[in-house]
A and B are shown apart, each in its own frame.
Chain A
Protein backbone atom coordinates (compact mmCIF):
# COMPACT_ATOMS: atom_id res chain seq x y z
CA UNK A 1 0.00 0.00 0.00
CA UNK A 2 1.11 3.52 -0.71
CA UNK A 3 1.41 6.23 1.91
CA UNK A 4 1.81 9.97 1.51
CA UNK A 5 3.19 12.16 4.27
CA UNK A 6 2.93 15.91 4.56
CA UNK A 7 4.85 17.01 7.63
CA UNK A 8 3.73 20.64 7.71
CA UNK A 9 0.15 20.99 8.98
CA UNK A 10 0.22 24.76 8.51
CA UNK A 11 2.48 27.37 6.96
CA UNK A 12 2.21 31.14 6.79
CA UNK A 13 4.20 33.49 4.54
CA UNK A 14 3.99 37.06 3.38
CA UNK A 15 2.58 37.93 0.00
CA UNK A 16 5.20 37.81 -2.81
CA UNK A 17 7.44 35.44 -0.88
CA UNK A 18 8.41 31.99 -2.08
CA UNK A 19 7.18 29.01 -0.11
CA UNK A 20 7.93 25.30 -0.34
CA UNK A 21 5.55 22.59 0.81
CA UNK A 22 7.05 19.20 1.51
CA UNK A 23 5.73 15.77 0.66
CA UNK A 24 7.22 12.31 0.95
CA UNK A 25 5.70 9.05 -0.14
CA UNK A 26 6.31 5.37 0.13
CA UNK A 27 5.67 2.88 -2.66
CA UNK A 28 7.12 -0.24 -4.21
CA UNK A 29 5.84 0.78 -7.64
CA UNK A 30 8.24 2.05 -10.29
CA UNK A 31 5.71 3.83 -12.47
CA UNK A 32 3.26 6.21 -10.87
CA UNK A 33 1.96 9.76 -10.85
CA UNK A 34 2.23 12.46 -8.21
CA UNK A 35 -0.05 15.43 -7.81
CA UNK A 36 -0.52 18.57 -5.84
CA UNK A 37 -4.11 19.59 -5.36
CA UNK A 38 -5.35 22.88 -3.97
CA UNK A 39 -8.54 23.21 -1.96
CA UNK A 40 -9.47 26.88 -1.42
CA UNK A 41 -11.94 27.95 1.24
CA UNK A 42 -14.74 27.43 -1.33
CA UNK A 43 -13.80 23.75 -1.00
CA UNK A 44 -13.49 22.62 -4.63
CA UNK A 45 -10.39 20.54 -5.17
CA UNK A 46 -8.30 21.87 -8.05
CA UNK A 47 -5.29 20.25 -9.69
CA UNK A 48 -2.18 22.42 -9.33
CA UNK A 49 0.50 20.30 -10.90
CA UNK A 50 1.19 16.74 -11.97
CA UNK A 51 4.40 14.73 -12.29
CA UNK A 52 4.96 11.42 -14.01
CA UNK A 53 7.50 9.31 -12.15
CA UNK A 54 9.35 8.22 -15.30
CA UNK A 55 10.07 11.83 -16.24
CA UNK A 56 13.21 13.24 -14.68
CA UNK A 57 12.37 16.82 -15.54
CA UNK A 58 10.49 18.62 -12.80
CA UNK A 59 7.01 19.81 -13.74
CA UNK A 60 6.32 23.54 -13.85
CA UNK A 61 3.06 25.46 -14.14
CA UNK A 62 3.56 29.22 -14.07
CA UNK A 63 4.41 30.13 -10.46
CA UNK A 64 4.18 26.52 -9.32
CA UNK A 65 7.02 24.04 -9.66
CA UNK A 66 7.99 20.77 -8.05
CA UNK A 67 11.22 19.26 -6.86
CA UNK A 68 10.83 15.56 -7.59
CA UNK A 69 13.48 13.32 -6.05
CA UNK A 70 12.52 9.78 -7.01
CA UNK A 71 15.25 8.01 -5.09
CA UNK A 72 14.40 9.93 -1.94
CA UNK A 73 10.65 9.58 -2.65
CA UNK A 74 10.21 13.28 -2.16
CA UNK A 75 7.87 15.60 -4.06
CA UNK A 76 7.89 19.18 -2.81
CA UNK A 77 5.87 22.06 -4.23
CA UNK A 78 7.39 25.51 -4.64
CA UNK A 79 5.15 28.53 -5.02
CA UNK A 80 6.93 31.63 -6.24
CA UNK A 81 5.68 35.19 -5.84
CA UNK A 82 2.88 33.97 -3.57
CA UNK A 83 -0.50 35.68 -3.85
CA UNK A 84 -3.42 36.06 -1.47
CA UNK A 85 -5.42 33.72 -3.68
CA UNK A 86 -2.93 30.96 -2.96
CA UNK A 87 -4.35 30.65 0.55
CA UNK A 88 -5.78 27.13 0.68
CA UNK A 89 -5.27 23.58 1.83
CA UNK A 90 -2.71 21.82 -0.34
CA UNK A 91 -2.80 18.07 -0.70
CA UNK A 92 -0.06 15.89 -2.09
CA UNK A 93 -1.41 12.76 -3.76
CA UNK A 94 -0.18 9.57 -5.36
CA UNK A 95 -1.70 7.40 -8.08
CA UNK A 96 -0.52 4.16 -9.58
CA UNK A 97 0.04 4.05 -13.30
CA UNK A 98 -2.41 2.35 -15.62
CA UNK A 99 -4.66 -0.29 -14.13
CA UNK A 100 -6.63 -0.22 -10.94
CA UNK A 101 -9.47 2.05 -9.99
CA UNK A 102 -8.58 2.86 -6.42
CA UNK A 103 -8.09 6.56 -7.08
CA UNK A 104 -5.62 8.73 -5.29
CA UNK A 105 -3.89 8.32 -1.96
CA UNK A 106 -3.79 11.69 -0.24
CA UNK A 107 -1.58 13.19 2.41
CA UNK A 108 -3.15 14.95 5.38
CA UNK A 109 -2.69 18.34 3.77
CA UNK A 110 -0.87 21.59 4.51
CA UNK A 111 -2.86 24.71 5.31
CA UNK A 112 -1.07 27.55 3.54
CA UNK A 113 -1.86 31.09 4.60
CA UNK A 114 -0.62 34.03 2.56
CA UNK A 115 -0.48 37.17 4.67
CA UNK A 116 -0.95 40.60 3.06
Chain B
Protein backbone atom coordinates (compact mmCIF):
# COMPACT_ATOMS: atom_id res chain seq x y z
CA UNK B 1 0.00 0.00 0.00
CA UNK B 2 1.11 3.53 -0.73
CA UNK B 3 1.99 5.76 2.23
CA UNK B 4 0.05 8.82 1.19
CA UNK B 5 -2.52 10.32 3.49
CA UNK B 6 -5.25 12.88 3.07
CA UNK B 7 -7.29 14.71 5.68
CA UNK B 8 -10.11 15.33 6.07
CA UNK B 9 -11.74 12.45 4.22
CA UNK B 10 -15.16 14.08 4.26
CA UNK B 11 -16.05 17.70 4.90
CA UNK B 12 -19.17 19.81 4.63
CA UNK B 13 -18.62 23.56 4.88
CA UNK B 14 -20.53 26.73 4.23
CA UNK B 15 -20.07 29.07 1.31
CA UNK B 16 -17.33 31.62 1.84
CA UNK B 17 -15.34 29.53 4.33
CA UNK B 18 -11.64 28.93 3.96
CA UNK B 19 -10.56 25.31 3.80
CA UNK B 20 -7.22 23.51 3.58
CA UNK B 21 -7.03 19.91 2.43
CA UNK B 22 -3.96 18.19 3.80
CA UNK B 23 -1.81 15.67 1.95
CA UNK B 24 1.29 13.94 3.24
CA UNK B 25 3.45 11.16 1.86
CA UNK B 26 6.25 9.28 3.57
CA UNK B 27 7.84 7.81 0.45
CA UNK B 28 10.17 10.72 -0.22
CA UNK B 29 8.65 11.35 -3.63
CA UNK B 30 9.63 14.58 -5.34
CA UNK B 31 6.55 14.91 -7.54
CA UNK B 32 3.13 15.48 -6.07
CA UNK B 33 -0.24 16.16 -7.64
CA UNK B 34 -3.78 17.25 -6.91
CA UNK B 35 -6.59 15.90 -9.05
CA UNK B 36 -10.23 16.91 -8.98
CA UNK B 37 -12.88 14.29 -9.70
CA UNK B 38 -16.63 14.72 -9.86
CA UNK B 39 -18.65 11.55 -9.09
CA UNK B 40 -18.38 8.97 -11.85
CA UNK B 41 -16.20 11.22 -13.95
CA UNK B 42 -12.58 11.33 -15.04
CA UNK B 43 -9.79 12.93 -13.07
CA UNK B 44 -8.52 16.38 -13.92
CA UNK B 45 -5.10 17.63 -12.85
CA UNK B 46 -5.39 20.96 -11.03
CA UNK B 47 -1.93 21.37 -9.41
CA UNK B 48 1.44 19.68 -9.36
CA UNK B 49 4.85 20.12 -7.84
CA UNK B 50 8.35 19.07 -8.93
CA UNK B 51 9.68 19.39 -5.39
CA UNK B 52 10.14 21.83 -2.52
CA UNK B 53 9.18 25.41 -3.43
CA UNK B 54 7.86 24.29 -6.82
CA UNK B 55 4.17 24.56 -7.71
CA UNK B 56 2.46 24.58 -11.10
CA UNK B 57 -1.10 24.77 -12.33
CA UNK B 58 -2.52 21.76 -14.06
CA UNK B 59 -4.78 21.27 -17.05
CA UNK B 60 -7.99 22.25 -15.29
CA UNK B 61 -8.29 25.78 -14.01
CA UNK B 62 -8.91 25.90 -10.28
CA UNK B 63 -9.41 28.68 -7.75
CA UNK B 64 -7.47 26.68 -5.20
CA UNK B 65 -3.83 27.26 -4.31
CA UNK B 66 -1.10 24.91 -3.14
CA UNK B 67 2.23 25.12 -1.37
CA UNK B 68 5.23 22.83 -1.06
CA UNK B 69 7.41 23.86 1.85
CA UNK B 70 8.40 20.32 2.74
CA UNK B 71 8.92 17.31 0.48
CA UNK B 72 6.32 15.24 2.28
CA UNK B 73 3.57 17.85 2.52
CA UNK B 74 1.42 19.33 -0.28
CA UNK B 75 -1.67 21.11 1.09
CA UNK B 76 -4.43 22.58 -1.06
CA UNK B 77 -6.31 25.68 0.05
CA UNK B 78 -9.58 27.26 -1.00
CA UNK B 79 -9.75 30.83 0.35
CA UNK B 80 -13.50 31.19 -0.16
CA UNK B 81 -15.39 28.00 -0.89
CA UNK B 82 -18.36 27.96 -3.27
CA UNK B 83 -20.87 25.23 -4.13
CA UNK B 84 -19.09 24.79 -7.49
CA UNK B 85 -16.07 23.53 -5.52
CA UNK B 86 -18.05 20.49 -4.35
CA UNK B 87 -16.04 17.52 -5.58
CA UNK B 88 -13.56 14.88 -4.61
CA UNK B 89 -9.92 15.95 -4.41
CA UNK B 90 -7.28 13.28 -4.87
CA UNK B 91 -3.67 13.79 -3.87
CA UNK B 92 -0.98 11.70 -5.52
CA UNK B 93 2.78 11.35 -5.68
CA UNK B 94 5.43 9.57 -7.69
CA UNK B 95 9.22 9.16 -7.65
CA UNK B 96 11.11 11.88 -9.44
CA UNK B 97 13.49 9.56 -11.20
CA UNK B 98 12.97 5.97 -12.19
CA UNK B 99 9.52 4.50 -12.28
CA UNK B 100 6.44 6.44 -13.22
CA UNK B 101 3.79 4.76 -11.12
CA UNK B 102 1.65 7.36 -9.39
CA UNK B 103 0.32 6.54 -5.94
CA UNK B 104 -2.95 8.01 -4.74
CA UNK B 105 -4.33 8.98 -1.39
CA UNK B 106 -7.84 7.99 -0.36
CA UNK B 107 -9.29 11.33 -1.42
CA UNK B 108 -11.06 14.20 0.29
CA UNK B 109 -14.78 14.62 -0.36
CA UNK B 110 -15.68 18.30 -0.12
CA UNK B 111 -19.27 19.52 -0.07
CA UNK B 112 -19.92 23.26 -0.01
CA UNK B 113 -23.43 24.26 1.00
Binding site for B on A (CB under 8 A): 33, 35, 37, 42-47, 50, 89, 91, 95, 97, 101-104, 106-109, 111
List chain B residues, Cβ under 8 A from A91.
42-43
Produce 1/0 per residue, B14-57, CB < 8 A to A.
00000000000000000101010000111101001110001010
A102 to chain B, nearest CB (A): 6
Is B101 an interface residue when CB atoms closer than 8 A count as contact? yes
List chain A residues, Cβ under 8 A from B88.
43
In the complex, the answer to whether A43 meets B106 with C-beta atoms within 8 Å is yes
Q: How far is the CA of A97 from the CA of B36 in the complex (A)?
A: 23
Residue on A nearest B47 in the bound complex, by CB = A103
Residue on B nearest A50 in the bound complex, by CB = B101
A50 to chain B, nearest CB (A): 6
List chain B residues, Cβ under 8 A from A89.
40
Known: A45-B92, A103-B102, A109-B41. 10 other contacts (CB 8 A): A35-B102, A42-B106, A45-B104, A91-B42, A97-B100, A101-B31, A101-B56, A103-B35, A103-B58, A106-B43
